[in-house]
Amino acid sequence: MNAPLEPNAKATPLPNDLGQRIEALRADLMKISARISDDMSEGIEKAAHQVGRAGRDARATASNAVIRHPLTAVGIAAGVGLVLGMMARKG
């Protein structure tokens, strides 16, 4: 009928136990921080690779267009040069 009192599982932790918990949390935070840093570095590397590939593709496309249509490329370059020259002269 009268059950013996059991210690409360959520009793105030002892100072030593609290220090151990803080150290465990600190260690967990360091692991999480390292993992996030690694993931971000990997993402940045992938993005840089994609940007580099896109730049190489654009350069190849422009080079191929000039090779296929050399007179058009010269005409466009001359037109852009003329417009820039006129703008510089008036400005």
| pLDDT 10s digits, 26-57 | 999 999 999 999 999 999 999 999 999 999 99
Whole-number mean pLDDT of the chain?
Answer: 86
- 65 CB-near residues (< 8 Å, 6+ apart): 73
Q: What's the chain's Rg over C-alpha atoms?
A: 34
Task: State pLDDT tens for residues 15-29.
Answer: 678 888 899 999 999
Q: List the chain domain ranges.
A: 15-90
